[in-house]
Amino acid sequence: MLYWLHEILEINLLSYITVRAGASFFFALFFTLFLMPKFIKWAQKSSSVQPINDYAPDSHKIKAKTPTMGGIVFIVATIISSLLTIKFSNLYAIGAILTLIIFLAIGFQDDYAKVKKNENLAGLKARTKLLLQIISALLISFYLYYFTGFNTDLYIPFLKSSIINMGAYAVILWVLVIIATSNAVNLTDGLDGLATVPSIAALSSFSIIIYIIGNSSISAYLLMPNYDVGEVAIVSTALMGALTGFLWYNCHPAEVFMGDSGSLTIGAFLGYLAIISKSEILLLLIGSIFVIETLSVILQVGSFKLRKKRVFLMAPIHHHFEMKKWAENKIIVRFWIIAIISNLIALMSLKLR
């Protein structure tokens, strides 16, 4: 809408991505702050509350009546805000919105099954969920490859040139990035606000990188590739605003959880941002907390199967610290600090080429 106003009324200010990105942030923030209390009241009345896993630490039992599926609210707020501010002719921005919609549908199915049966493990079967994620990631990757003709070069940090052109094999990498990130954020979402701030930090980094890549002069100065992806920064800042509004209600003690509707969607979207920003490798640093959480689960499962011994008291690793009697707030804030520092390092690497 804002870009349309620029074209019809010749309001030049609205042609700038930075202006519309700021507008999308505040639109999404307002929508989330306004709608979330109404959603919480509805969820409480309809018993749409979070089922707690029987194996979770005892401190989680008091969270059993906390409303879940808050991700529906802030993802919808993101989509609406994006539609109000993006340039519709930009295929990459449309791809970003499609990613949000598709993975929100998967997350909602999983959440709804859990709430309906009041059982944490009663959601979509693992194989079914993975199959849906693979199909969805393939659709998004084929969209990028065939409809946008997106460049298939692979870049790594600190080098100014790509190391290889992957051709059609890029689709395989893109699918893996989207699925891995989607599940990594989902694993991280185990404490109040734990996944929210690292997600905001990652979105901030990707917004900056995408804006740079979309700007020919800045990208040339920093020796970075240049593609017409700048509009996606508007969708990214919209999600940042929505998550900021969500954090108002999700900080400890949480009044609402995002559920898989939120975590799976955020993760898939971060994967999409990593792909179009040519930061598939840098994603390991930008999403450091998500990587650490995922590795802790892999190590725990692998060690138990091979040696019949556990590496951690409980996985993902945030539960390990809970079992060591760390206060929940201490775990959360320390993970936030790690996420912020790693994102600052990732941004510093852009100049080191």
Residue 241: predicted pLDDT:
97
Residue 253: predicted pLDDT:
86
**pLDDT tens string 233-257:** 999 999 999 999 999 999 888 889 9
Return d(Cα 226, Cα 88) in angstroms, integer: 20
Residue 276: predicted pLDDT:
96
Residue 55: predicted pLDDT:
54
Return d(Cα 315, Cα 292) in angstroms, integer: 11
Q: Which of 248, 256, 228 is nearest to 66 (CA)?
A: 256
Return d(Cα 129, Cα 110) in angstroms, integer: 8
Residue 4: predicted pLDDT:
54
Residue 31: predicted pLDDT:
96
Contact yes or no for 258/71 (Cβ under 8 A): yes
Contacts of 349 (CB under 8 A, 6+ apart): 157, 158, 282, 285
Residue 125: predicted pLDDT:
83
Q: Residue 192, SS3?
A: coil
ω into residue 51 within 30 of 0, thus cis? no
Residue 76: predicted pLDDT:
97
Low-confidence residues of the chain: pLDDT under 50: none
Residue 135: predicted pLDDT:
96
Residue 81: predicted pLDDT:
95
- Nearest-5° Cα angle at 133, 297 to 342: 50
pTM of the complete model beyond 0.75: yes
Residue 8: predicted pLDDT:
60
Return d(Cα 137, Cα 263) in angstroms, integer: 16
